[in-house]
Amino acid sequence: MKPIRTARHFEILCLGAILWFLPASPSFAQGDLAQFLKRNPSTPATVSKNQLLAPAKAMRALERARKEIHDGHLESAQKEITCALNIAPHLAIAKALQGAIDLETQNFEEATTFFQQALQDDPALGAAYLGMATILIHQGRSQAALPLLDRADGLLPGAWLVHFVKAWAQLETGNVEAALKQADYAERAAGADSEQRSGVLYLRAMVSVHSNDLAAARARLGAAIALDPRGEYAAPAREELQRLQLLLASTR
C-alpha cells in the first residue's frame, strides 16, 4: 500500500525547513541550524568560497530576506533577494533561497531554474541539492533524487532534514528498509527537538501505512500529534489520522 497523503503533504513537511538551510551572512555557516533555529548545535559548520567572497552589503540583504521569510513576508523577502543579486549576480545562496521560496509557492519551474543556477555558481551548496531532490520527488522521480540527496548529505553532515527527505525518497521508491534506516538517522539527528521527533513519528507512520500496518500507523500519528501539538507536523498528522480512521471504518 502506498502512503496516504495529499500531493502537498511532502511540501508542507519539508519546504519551510529548506529555507533555514540557507545561510544569510558569513556568521551563518552552511547547515549550522544552531545559528538559525538553535537546533542541532553539533552540526558542523562549513562556508563555501562563493559565500566568503560575497560583498557584505549583499549578505546583509540576505539576512533581511531571511528575517522576512521567518515573519511570513515572502514578497518582501524576494525584494531583498533581488537586491542581493543585483549586488552579487553569482551569489549562489541568494538563488537557492529564491528557489526555496518558489518551491514553497509551488512554482516548480522557477525553483528548478534557481537551484540549477545556484549549483552552477557554487557546486558545494548542499541546500541547492536538497531543493532539487525535493522537486524530483514531487515529480515522482524519487530514484533520480537519491544521488542528489547523497551529495547533500556529504555537504550537510548530521543535518536532520537531509535524512528526513532521503527517507521519503526511499519510501516512494518502495524501499521500506532503506526508508527506516534513514528514519533512524533522522531520529538520532533530531536529538531532543520535539518538532523534529514529531516529524520522525509522522514519517514512521507513513512507512507503516506503506507496509499495511494500519494499527501502528494510527498509534504513531497520535504520538506525533501529542509530542508537538502546535508544531509543523501536527496538522498533516491529524489529517492523515482522520483519513486512516475513515479507511479503517470502511473496512469493518
Distance CA 168, CA 172 (A): 6
Task: Name the more confident of 252 and 221.
Answer: 221
What is the reported pLDDT for 153? 93
What value does the mean pLDDT of the chain take? 83
C-alpha cell at 125: 551548496
Q: Which three cell numbers stand for residue 167?
A: 527517507
Instruction: Kindly tell me the sign of the dihedral angle through the C-alpha atoms of 174, 175, 181, 185.
Output: negative
> Cβ–Cβ contacts within 10 Å for residue 226, how many?
12
* pLDDT score of 21: 60
Average pLDDT over residues 154-172: 91
Per-residue pLDDT, 85: 96
What pLDDT is recorded for position 245?
84
Which region among 15-19, 164-168, 217-221 has the lowest average model confidence (pLDDT)? 15-19
Q: Which residue, 133, 136, 138, 193, is CA-closest to 160?
A: 193
Q: Which fold has domain 9-158?
A: 1.25.40
Q: At residue 83, does pLDDT exceed 50? A: yes
Given a cut of 80, is residue 19 above it in pLDDT? no
Indicate the domain borders of the chain: 9-158
- CA 184-187-190 angle, to 5 degrees, is 150
